[in-house]
Amino acid sequence: MKNRLTYSLAAVLAAASALLAPATAQQLRRSVASFYDLRTSTLLGQPAALAEYRGTVSLVVNVASQCGFTPQYEGLEKLQDEMKGRPFNVLGFPSNDFGGQEPGTAEEIATFCRLTYGVSFPMFEKVVTTSGPDQSPIYAFLGTSGHLPAWNFSKYVVDKQGRIVAFFPSEVTPEDPALRDAIAKALAAN
């Protein structure tokens, strides 16, 4: 009886841990068909459904306030402004994954972005972009593209249906013709 009880308890615990374990990229790919199916929170903690951006092209960027690439905020804001009136948005996801370069609170990040770069594009809660148990579902989904950020300011172009159509590493600036071309192609597609 004790062996059966121990076995039953072990089976229940194994099933429970499987339910509570973070989704792998492969599991996520099967369960989430579109970037726009995901939910998150705004930088200031309000619930946010990315479904709000369905039908638009999104440039998703992991941002940080104390990075050598931080001046790219200026180009990202300029891109957002240039695209005003078109189905396009820059979406910023602060991350402290690389060099501890985003240590601030949500309020500190928001203030820095607003006062230093005039950021008006949507900013979301601080996330973990790297693989592991704490990885954000946003970046678990983006990682299904075969690319995860190697540093701050990596960029994903997501099409109107929520599919990842291009990835650009940190060194590629918002002004780069290849990035602009990927956005233009995604905007032109049905």
Contact present, 94 and 123 (Cβ < 8 Å): yes
Query: What is residue 190's predicted lDDT score, i.e. its pLDDT?
Result: 78
The 10s digit of each residue's pLDDT in 44-79 is 999 999 999 999 999 999 999 999 999 999 999 999
Contact present, 183 and 157 (Cβ < 8 Å): yes
Q: Is 113 a catalytic residue?
A: no
Query: What is residue 31's predicted lDDT score, i.e. its pLDDT?
Result: 79
Given a cut of 50, whether residue 29 has pLDDT beyond it is no
Which of 67, 140, 158, 164 is labelled catalytic?
67
Domains of the chain: 23-188 (3.40.30.10)
**Largest Cα–Cα distance of the chain, in whole Å?**
72
The 10s digit of each residue's pLDDT in 109-165 is 999 999 999 999 999 999 999 999 999 999 999 999 999 999 999 999 999 999 999
Contact present, 153 and 62 (Cβ < 8 Å): yes
The C-alpha angle 38, 41, 45, rounded to 5 degrees, equals 170
Tell me whether residue 124 is exposed, middle or buried, using C-beta atoms within 10 angstroms of its C-beta: 0 to 12, 13 to 18, 19 or more. Answer: buried
pTM of this structure = 0.85
